[in-house]
Amino acid sequence: MKFFVDTADTAEIADLAQTGMVDGVTTNPSLIKKSGRDIMEVTKEICDLTDGPVSAEVVALDHETMMKEAEVLRKIADNVCIKVPLTIDGLKTCKALTSDGTMVNVTLCFSANQALLAAKAGASFISPFVGRHDDNGFDGMKLIDDIRLIYDNYAFDTEILVASIRNPIHVLESARIGADVATMPPNVIRGLFKHVLTDKGIEGFLKDWEATGQNIG
């Protein structure tokens, strides 16, 4: 499974990249706002930090303007992936962009039927929102399971990019189902490292090492 970082915080991306945990980055208008930076500037900096796809989202709602915004965004770097909403106009834009070789991430997916439409439109990635799905009384993981089954049935190339991940359990279940990508806030990725027995083991080793009176180097 590939790990994408869901943030526009370049310091966090740079730090996590050193662990080998950054296969790409996803951003959205809310994350750009949180960063307090210009979208073009911060997206370019993010693209320089990873060779993987960096999702940059259009904000227009009509196809014609989406295409104009996409043209601006995809000039930032070769690894920019244009992010569009799962609407009729979003899928028109997806079809047009993927037809000329541009990566497209179709976002705000909440049903398997929507995911099927995105795959037929040629999406590079589909982003089902599991956390928001759970928040509204639905089973986010069942959605991922259904999309995986449908995509495998027809050998679609669209990658399942699990979004709105809230905790390590979402990551585990996504991996068990066979999702292609999990995009997570930095704190969720850091949470994957944590285990009480790892901490206790380190504590015990250090205590015993101190008792030897030795040092390395």
What residue type is 22 in one-letter code?
A: V
Residue 83 is a catalytic residue? yes
| Whole-angstrom distance, CA of residue 130 vs CA of residue 61 | 23
Catalytic residue among 75, 83, 92, 200: 83
DSSP structure class, residue 22: -
- Whether the CB-CB separation of 27 and 56 falls below 8 Å is answered with yes
Token output for 189: 């990725």
- Whether the CB-CB separation of 9 and 45 falls below 8 Å is answered with no
- Whether the CB-CB separation of 82 and 103 falls below 8 Å is answered with yes
What residue type is 161 in one-letter code?
A: L
DSSP structure class, residue 129: B
As annotated, the active-site residues are 83
